[in-house]
Amino acid sequence: MRTTIPAVKPACANFSCGPCTKHPGWTFASLHGAPVGRSHRSKPSKSKLKLALDITREVLRIPADYRIGIIPGSDTGAMETAMWSLLGQRGVDVLAWECFSEGWVIDVLEHLRIPNARGMVAGYGEIADLASVNFDNDVVFAWNGTTSGVRVPNADWIAEDRKGLTICDATSAAFAQRLDWGKLDVTTFSWQKALGGEAAHGVLVLSPRAVERLQTHTPAWPVPKLFRLAEGGRLNDNIFDGETINTPSMLCVEDYLDALKWAKAIGGLDALVARADANSSALSAWIERTPWIDFLARDPGLRSNTSVCMKIVDPEVVALGLEGEARFASAIVSLLESEKAAYDIGSYRDAPPGLRVWCGATVEASDIEKLTPWLDYAYAKAKADLFAKAA
């Protein structure tokens, strides 16, 4: 048990799972070119928005016939837009293995009340039964569970000859995991995740099949203006050419452009995935040799390389019950924050108590390696304090 304070701290102690840390070398000067004070419909602003869409396509290798738009409300806004605009033509299988995708279950079953819909919900650390998905239905799922650390292993489980649409929440997967675009009809993410952008903006990617649905399907419910991708059977093409439904922050757009340019400069998608893999591998090596901590996701093949979620397995801590475990994890998090060694690594409020460390591409592997001795130290200190109080 480590009782001495580590000599070295991470150069960047930001390990939040969203908004995530800025890319290496980022400065406020990166935003110098933003057309602040101009209309988002002015030529300079529209050109910036269109450029952001174009580089997004290039970095993520999105097919040329897929549409990309910027949507208000971060990934949540993009997902709500997709569901409210596209669902209702056929039954729905909505899959969940963490709290955000559980929200999509509630939307489909309780708010939209779609006939022949079923929620397929797995507990934290597990994944739904992918083999039992009915692809005659529309299928809603998260590629990576941000609050559970569980991801789909690949897209092989998605039927090539599906009749329904696949609607994928990829917010903590895009830019760090390889998405199989041929299997995804609707994909959403926010740039505050894997590229460390500023919050409140979502990205919506539509396949030709999804565009056809928008042009031929009228939902049975009123669609709010913020979610309206089509009207009268006509797609709102402007959204996918750099115009947004509401006013975007051009400072945030400039910040996203800076992150995209950094991604291109280091080698694009291959380099981004490699960086996330190296980060998660460094953290995984520590977890595997450390007896008091374990992955929340049991199956190694389903573990995220971005939002690595952990549970405390020390029997004396587990014996305290969930409330005691939560207090113990909180003590670790608070100590690391007070020492400025790590920020924002507590598990999500609705998830089982534990720790969660972002390992996406904007994090440096050297910082993960410097973090792990601090985790050992904080655990030892919290354990000593716990039993000192008990005595």
Closest CA to 307 of 100, 106, 30, 134: 100
CB atoms under 10 Å from CB of 360, counted, come to 29
Tell me how far apart the alpha carbons of residues 156 and 245 are, in angstroms, rounded to a whole number.
34
Per DSSP, the residues of 182-241 read GG-SEEEEETTSTT-PPSSEEEEEE-HHHHHHHHH---SSPPPGGG--EETTEE-GGGGG
pLDDT at position 41: 87
pLDDT at position 242: 84
Q: What average pLDDT is seen over the chain?
A: 95
Is the peptide bond preceding residue 72 cis, with omega within 30 degrees of 0?
Answer: no
pLDDT at position 347: 97
- Max Cα–Cα distance, the chain, nearest Å: 72
Give whole-number Cα distances, 380 to 291, 312, 317, 351, in Å.
Answer: 12, 13, 12, 23
Per DSSP, the residues of 34-65 read --TTS-TTSHHHHHHHHHHHHHHHHHHT--TT
SS3 (DSSP) at 311: strand
pLDDT at position 1: 67
pTM of the model: 0.96
Q: What is the pLDDT of residues 144-187, one digit of tens each?
A: 999 999 999 999 999 999 999 999 999 999 999 999 999 999 99
SS3 (DSSP) at 137: coil
Tell me how far apart the alpha carbons of residues 211 and 315 are, in angstroms, rounded to a whole number.
53
Residue 151: half-sphere exposure toward Cβ, Cα within 13 Å? 26
Q: What is the pLDDT of residues 221-258, one digit of tens each?
A: 999 988 999 988 899 988 998 888 889 999 999 999 99
Tell me how far apart the alpha carbons of residues 344 and 247 are, in angstroms, rounded to a whole number.
30
Specify whether the CB–CB gap between 194 and 176 falls below 8 A. yes
CB atoms under 10 Å from CB of 321, counted, come to 11
Walk me through the domains of the chain, giving residue ranges and CATH numbers.
37-264 (3.40.640.10), 268-390 (3.90.1150.10)
pLDDT at position 390: 62
Burial of 3 (0-12, 13-18, 19+ CB in 10 A): exposed
Q: What is the pLDDT of residues 16-45, one digit of tens each?
A: 999 999 999 999 999 999 999 999 989 999
Splitting the chain (391 residues) into consecutive groups of 10 residues, what average pLDDT does each group show? 88 96 96 94 93 98 97 95 97 95 95 96 96 98 96 97 98 97 98 92 97 96 92 88 88 97 98 98 98 97 98 96 96 98 96 97 98 97 83 55
Tell me how far apart the alpha carbons of residues 371 and 11 are, in angstroms, rounded to a whole number.
10
Burial of 271 (0-12, 13-18, 19+ CB in 10 A): middle
Q: Crossing angle for the helix pair 250-266 and 43-60, nearest 10 degrees?
A: 30
Q: Which amino acid makes up residue 185?
A: D
pLDDT at position 317: 95
Residue with structure tokens 């040799």? 289
